[in-house]
Amino acid sequence: MHISEGVLSPPVLVAGAALTAAGVAMGLRKMDNEKIPRVAVLTAAFFVASLIRVPLGPSSVHLILNGLLGLVLGWAAFPAILVGLALQAILFQFGGLTTLGANTFIMAAPAVLCYYLFGRSVTSKHPGVATTLAFVCGFSAVLFSALLLAACLVFTGESFLHAARILVLAHLPVMFLEGLVVAFCLAFLMKVKPELLGVTHAAG
Amino acid sequence: MLPVSYPRLTWTATLVISALGIIAFLTLSTRVYAHKVNVFAWVEGDMVFVEGYYPGGKKAQNSLVEVYNSRGEKLLEGKTNKKGEFSFKIPAKDDLRIVLTASMGHKNDFTIAAGDLGGLEPSSKESITTTTKADAPPSATTVDMSRLQVMIDEALDRKLDPVIKLIRNTRKDGPGVTEIVGGIGYIMGLFGLVMYFKSKQERK
């Protein structure tokens, strides 16, 4: 999911950076003191998740966790993913500093979308419904990211359908894995820390 | 309906649990991986060998390789084979910038300095042999010298082969644990700073 430097054209990079700046501003406005530690923890989780190779069949994949970030952080997923990607670019040369804006938007926008789609319903009292929705949340966050990435690559001359097909197929194992991880994390959080998901004590 | 008997975790406990989880995950998966393509190129005789691979050693197959000179003019291009390799005859004694473009927005480059392209240009090597053939008896020493040069080059190529292989293999390692733990440290420090300044604002 990390686009390297020198692949995208300047207009795409500027557009990505502008959208990311808007998202980060929104995220920072919504981030109050209580939320900062959880943003920090999930930033660290995001930063590490991309580095861990999960062997799967003949190849290997890495987690993105943007669905989980969106679910727990909402708009604050933007600053979290920006910080995580910036450190990956500086320390490991993944992606790059010029593509930071575009890369952040590709991963953070689906996170926010998932927050609005599943943020409320995922805390359903019915465990089956909650688990299914959590799985769909993790799955679709990666799917949306792959489609956004394909859309960015259209400007480099690749056809959207071709790029989208390759990207979605390549990320299919990640989507399933992310769905499972989000479902597991949600079950865990509902047990030990339901406030993280916006469930108040009275309701819990 | 959350039973009241469940212990509510404090933030420190949550932090410790996530840190332990991260460490456990790290130690379980020995090799790290992420989306980045690497290029390595080396010279053997009058040929340049290019190899493209992802961290973890997966080959970058069927990727576009372009070779530019120091003025940025494209000299030649080609595609890597199934082993992620591509080779070409040294086109000119100049700094060669080798750009590898893999699929899904991955790109990287490697530069070979003019001085590393071997002592003799292929063309000058031929000219020496032809001149020596023309007036063989008087310039016996020059013949020996040029032959000696070729022999030394060949011997060095052979002797350096294991070293080049070693370099190729060490370059395949992904980021180390030190860098990963350092990155997490940066994240915690950054959010610590944010909290510090936010708490200062509130006291005013």
CATH number of the domain that B84 lies in?
2.60.40.10
Q: Flag whether B132 is in a domain.
A: yes
Q: Is B139 part of any domain?
A: yes
| Residue B1, domain member (yes or no) | no
Nearest-angstrom CA–CA distance, A30 and A38: 13
Helix (H, G, I), strand (E, B) or coil at B192: helix
**Cβ-defined contact of A36 to B198 (cutoff 8 Å):** yes
Please report residues of A whose CB lies closer than 8 A to that of B101: 7
Q: Does A169 reach chain B within 8 Å, measured CB to CB?
A: no
**Rounded to a whole number, what is the distance in Å from the CA of B53 to chain A's nearest CA?**
13
Instruction: Report pLDDT digits (tens) over B11-40.
Output: 666 666 666 666 555 544 433 334 577 888
How high is the pLDDT of residue B125? 46
**If you average pLDDT over residues A44-57, what whole number do you get?**
76
How much is the ipTM here? 0.70
Answer whether residue B19 is part of any domain: no
Number of domains in chain B: 1
pLDDT recorded at residue A127 = 80
Name B46's Cβ contacts closer than 8 Å, sequence gap at least 6. Answer: B89, B90, B118, B121, B122, B125
pLDDT tens-digit series, residues B89-136: 888 888 888 888 876 667 888 888 887 776 544 444 444 444 444 455
Q: What angle do CA B105, B111, B115 make, to 5 degrees?
A: 170
- CB B52 within 8 Å of CB B59: yes
Q: Whole-angstrom Cα distance, residue B178 to residue A29?
A: 33
pLDDT of residue B11: 61
Distance separating alpha carbons of residues A174 and A126, to the nearest angstrom: 26
pLDDT of residue A139: 93
Asked if residue A203 has pLDDT above 60, the reply is no
Over residues B165-183, mean pLDDT = 73
Instruction: Find which of A41, A91, A189 to mutate to test the B interface (most B CBs within 10 Å of its CB).
Output: A41
Q: What is the pLDDT of residue A25?
A: 94
More confident residue, A196 or B85: B85
Average pLDDT over residues A13-40: 90
Beta bridge partner(s), residue A54: A61
Is B6 part of any domain? no
Give chain A positions within 8 Å (CB) of B174.
51, 53, 92
State whether B37 and A4 contact (CB < 8 Å): yes
A-chain CB neighbours of B192 within 8 Å are 40
Closest B-chain CA to A171? B104
Compute the distance between CA of residue A122 and CA of residue B6 in angstroms, rounded to an integer. 21
Q: State the sign of the Cα–Cα–Cα–Cα dihedral A149, A151, A153, A155.
A: negative
- As a whole number of angstroms, the distance between CA A14 and CA B45 comes to 45
Average pLDDT over all residues of chain A:
85
- Facing residue for B15 by CB, picked from A41, A94, A194: A41
Phi, psi of A201, rounded to the nearest 5 degrees? -60, -40
**Which tokens in the block code for residue B2?**
């959350």
Higher pLDDT, A40 or B107: A40
**Strand arrangement, sheet containing B38-44:** B38-44, B47-53, B85-89
Q: Which is higher by pLDDT, B35 or A127?
A: A127
Mean pLDDT score, A108-124? 89
Task: Please judge whether B34 and A88 are an interchain contact, meaning their C-beta atoms are less than 8 angstroms apart.
Answer: yes
User: DSSP string of chain A?
Assistant: --PPTTSS-HHHHHHHHHHHHHHHHHHHHH--GGGHHHHHHHHHHHHHHTTBEEEETTEEEE---HHHHHHHHGGGHHHHHHHHHHHHHHHH--S-STTHHHHHHHHHHHHHHHHHHHTTGGG-SSHHHHHHHHHHHHHHHHHHHHHHHHHHHHTTT--HHHHHHHHHHHHHHHHHHHHHHHHHHHHHHHHH-GGGGT--TTT-
Q: Do A52 and B33 touch (CB under 8 A)?
A: yes
A4 closest CB neighbour out of B29, B106, B194: B106
Mutate to test the interface with A, among B28, B30, B35, B39 (most CBs of A within 10 A): B35
Q: Do A94 and B29 touch (CB under 8 A)?
A: no
Tens digit of each residue's pLDDT (9 = 90 or more) over A58-77: 556 678 899 999 999 999 99
Please list every residue in chain B whose beta carbon sits closer than 8 Å to the beta carbon of residue A40. 187-188, 190-192
* pLDDT of amino acid A60: 61
* Residues of A whose CB is below 8 A from B34: 2, 50-51, 53, 62, 88, 92, 94
When the pLDDT of each residue in chain B is averaged and rounded to a whole number, the result is: 72
Structural domains of chain A, ranges and CATH numbers in brackets: 10-196 (1.10.1760.20)
Residues of B in contact with A166 (CB under 8 A): 103-104
Range of the domain at B120: 38-170
Residue B154: band (very low, low, confident or very high) from pLDDT cuts 50, 70, 90: confident
Cβ-based contacts of B188 with chain A (< 8 Å): 40, 44
Q: CB distance A37–B11 less than 8 Å?
A: yes
Q: Is residue B136 part of a domain?
A: yes
Q: How many angstroms separate the CA atoms of B174 and B39, rounded?
A: 14
pLDDT at A24 over 90: yes
Specify the residue for token string 């992802």.
Answer: B54
Residue B187 lies in a domain: no
Structure tokens at B165: 């292989």
Q: At B2, is the pLDDT very low, low, confident or very high (cuts 50, 70, 90)? A: very low
Q: What percent of chain A has pLDDT over 70?
A: 92
Q: Is residue B52 part of a domain?
A: yes
Residue of A12, A32, A34, A51 to mutate when probing chain B, most B C-beta within 10 A: A51
A193-197: average pLDDT: 78
Going by C-alpha positions, the residue among B33, B27, B55 that lies closest to residue B169 is B55
